[in-house]
Each structure stands twice: as C-alpha cells, then as structure tokens.
C-alpha cells in the first residue's frame, strides 16, 4: 500500500480515501510504540532529514522518533547552527541536502508555501511540518486519529475550534480534514482573529464561544500565536481567558464525553484552564502519542514500497 503522491503538503489536497488510508495505517502502527523493542525494520536504509526553520518540541521530536521506529536514519538540522546563518537560500540548502540523497525532507518554515516550493524542486519526498499560518497536515491527521480512537467515527460529529483562527495553521488543516471526513466544524474566537471568508473552507462561524461549544463532540483549543501577531488583537490575557478560554463551566455546555484537544504548547490559564487541560476529557497527551503513529504512517506510505505512479 502506498500513497499515489510524492509529498504531503496540505490536507486541502488529500482525498477522503487518502486520509482513511493514513489513519488506518497509523492505527495499525500504533502498537509498535507499546512494544518493549520499539522498532520495525520496514524503512531500513532510508534517510529522513528534519529541516526546521521554526521552533518546535513535539513535531520535530515526533518526526525523528517516527523515522527511527521505522528503522530509517533521521538527521536533524537546526537552522541556528547551519549555513542559513551565513546567508544561504532555502533552495540552495535543500539542493545541497538533496545531493546527499535523502529519501524525505521534513520542513517547517515561518513562511507559507516553502514546502511546496521545495517539493517542486526536489526529487525526494517533502513533508510539510507547518508553513506559517497556512497548514500543518500531520497535526490534523493526528487530531483526527485521536478523535476517531475515542468516538469511533468522524462522520456527523460536531467539532468546535476556538481561538486564534487567523494565525493558526492547525485550524486551517483541521477545518479541511474534519469537513472532508463528514464532520461539522464550527469556529469561534475574537473577531480580530477571525479571517473574513473562512466559511469558504467549509466551516460555520459561531457568534460566540458558548454557541460554538454547545453540544460539541470535540472542542479544540488553539494557542494564541504571539510570534505571528504584529498588533494587539486582544486587551489582556485575563480578558482573553474570560471571553474565549475553556474552563469547567464551558466544558459543561458540550456533549457528555466531549473530547478536548489542544495542539500544544498550551498557555495554561489563558486559552485553557489547568483543570480542563489535566482533566478527564482532555486527550492532549494522547494527541502527542498518536503523532508518532501518524508520522510513522506517513513515512511508510511515502517511502515504504515502490510508488504505484512510479511503477
């Protein structure tokens, strides 16, 4: 089994069948991480390069662990110690890395479109690990895997995504992903953080957070992306948490057995209270566990066998 594509760049371009294939492959690979010897030989001899131009804890570690659990060799490039600081362009860096014959480059960059530019210029596979405020496909896949694991299905469920929608690549990828899988997505947040025309992605904009959360099967809280904000979009953290934060009272508006997600890193006491983040409905750490399985699945489906379109 293999995806009929070289790269994973956006959720927007993935079909429902492709998302199904990735999720079911991840479900079958999840068990590898529960073994005492956490490794399968499937990708022995393959090389993955992690090229991160932006800060990351979860995503970078997760891609590295995923590659290693599949027996691929993983190399991490931290931009602060690379030739980028000497003025090399992204394309030149990538071309030089390609000359060392990796099978896949995983890239994160603050500018939207960088993974697409690299994919068009490189023969190896490219995975987008987050490009600016555009997309973060592996995050949406691990979120869908987490919800499917708990609720059994995605079709017909109500998913509320709350917070800084404008700056969130996580929101964008999840709106595409959940709607493609038949879920109803509602978004809410400060009007200053709600991009005009977001409905075109297939979601509904709720007038306030309580309306969005009412009857929801899933509540996904977003981090305020301070690094992407040039202006003051809200008066103070305390104000933000009162109007847009998730506390226990708001959780009670959702459906019984609601799934609470947050992509991390969380700002405790701002977009989510500690009681909720550490509470019984929170699957925040399951998301992290599932992230490894999803990334193992992506490597397997891109690099694991001869591509059908290449045969």
Positions in the binding site for ligand ASP (CB under 6 A) = 59, 130, 136, 169-170, 223, 263-264
Task: In angstroms, give the least distance from the CB of 228 to ligand ASP.
Answer: 9
Of residues 130 and 304, the one with the C-beta less far from ligand ASP:
130
Task: In angstroms, give the least distance from the CB of 16 to ligand ASP.
Answer: 24
Task: In angstroms, give the least distance from the CB of 170 to ligand ASP.
Answer: 5
Residue nearest to ligand ASP (CB): 223
Helices 16-29 & 137-151 angle (0-180, nearest 10): 70
Of residues 130 and 149, the one with the C-beta less far from ligand ASP:
130
Of residues 40 and 112, the one with the C-beta less far from ligand ASP:
112
Question: Which of 99, 83, 228, 208 lies closest to 167 in space, CA to CA?
Answer: 228
Task: In angstroms, give the least distance from the CB of 308 to ligand ASP.
Answer: 31
Burial of 56 (0-12, 13-18, 19+ CB in 10 A): middle
Of residues 24 and 225, the one with the C-beta less far from ligand ASP:
225
Of residues 221 and 303, the one with the C-beta less far from ligand ASP:
221
**Residue 55, C-beta contacts closer than 8 angstroms, at least 6 positions apart:** none
Residues 296 and 64: beta-carbon distance below 8 Å: no
User: Angle at CA 221, nearest 5°, toward 216 and 172?
Assistant: 90
Task: In angstroms, give the least distance from the CB of 18 to ligand ASP.
Answer: 22
Give the neighbor-by-neighbor strand order of the sheet with 47-52.
73-78, 47-52, 104-109, 125-131
């Amino acid at each position: 089994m293999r995806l009929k594509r070289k790269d994973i760049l956006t959720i927007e371009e993935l079909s429902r069948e492709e998302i199904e294939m990735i999720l079911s492959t991840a479900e079958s690979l999840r068990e590898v991480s529960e073994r005492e010897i956490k490794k399968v030989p499937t990708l022995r001899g393959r090389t993955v390069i992690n090229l991160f131009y932006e800060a990351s804890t979860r995503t970078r570690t997760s891609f590295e662990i995923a590659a290693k659990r599949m027996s691929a060799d993983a190399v991490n490039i931290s931009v602060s110690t690379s030739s980028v600081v000497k003025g090399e362009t992204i394309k030149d860096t990538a071309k030089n890395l390609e000359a060392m014959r990796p099978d896949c480059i995983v890239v994160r960059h603050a500018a939207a479109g960088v993974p697409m530019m690299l994919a068009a210029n490189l023969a190896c596979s490219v995975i987008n690990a987050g490009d600016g405020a555009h997309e973060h496909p592996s995050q949406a896949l691990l979120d869908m895997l987490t919800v499917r694991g708990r609720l059994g299905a995605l079709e017909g469920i109500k998913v509320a995504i709350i917070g800084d929608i404008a700056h969130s690549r996580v929101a964008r990828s999840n709106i595409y992903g959940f709607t493609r899988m038949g879920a109803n997505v509602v978004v809410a947040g400060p009007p200053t953080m709600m991009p005009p025309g977001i409905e075109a992605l297939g979601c509904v904009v709720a007038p306030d957070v309580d309306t969005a959360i009412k009857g929801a099967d899933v509540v996904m809280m977003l981090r305020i992306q301070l690094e992407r904000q040039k202006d003051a979009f809200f008066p103070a953290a305390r104000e933000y948490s009162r109007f847009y934060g998730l506390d226990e009272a708001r959780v009670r508006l959702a459906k019984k057995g609601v799934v609470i997600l947050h992509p991390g890193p969380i700002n405790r006491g701002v977009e989510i209270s500690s009681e909720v983040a550490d509470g019984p409905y929170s699957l925040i750490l399951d998301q992290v566990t599932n992230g490894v399985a999803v990334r193992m699945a992506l490597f397997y489906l891109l690099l694991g066998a001869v591509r059908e379109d290449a045969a």
